Amino acid sequence: MTTAVIAVAAKRGVADLIAAAPKTADQLARETKTHAPSLRRLLSFLTSVGIFTENAAGKYEQTALSETLRAEAPKSLRGWAVMAASDWNWRP
């Protein structure tokens, strides 16, 4: 399940969106054109495994792990994360 959830965040570019500044789940939902309550649950799960952190204002921030999901990061694993949960890889 963790792989699939990371892949969704990578596909939607969440790490790229919060790279400049922390954002709330509602802000991220608008920018990714996703269902806000569902995205909030996804972010909560990713926070529980150390991919993101949530500050006191309810905004999500980068961690060292989420940095690797940024498209332009020097050692980006974004493509790998998307591939790992792709249907052709996941189903077998």
Q: What is the pLDDT of residues 54-80, one digit of tens each?
A: 999 999 999 999 999 998 888 888 888
- How much is the pTM? 0.86
Select from 51, 80, 78 the least CA-distant residue to 63. 51
Select from 54, 91, 41, 30 the least CA-distant residue to 62. 54
Domains, the chain, with CATH or none: 2-85 (1.10.10.10)
What number of residues does the chain have? 92
Query: pLDDT band at 8, cuts 50/70/90?
Result: very high
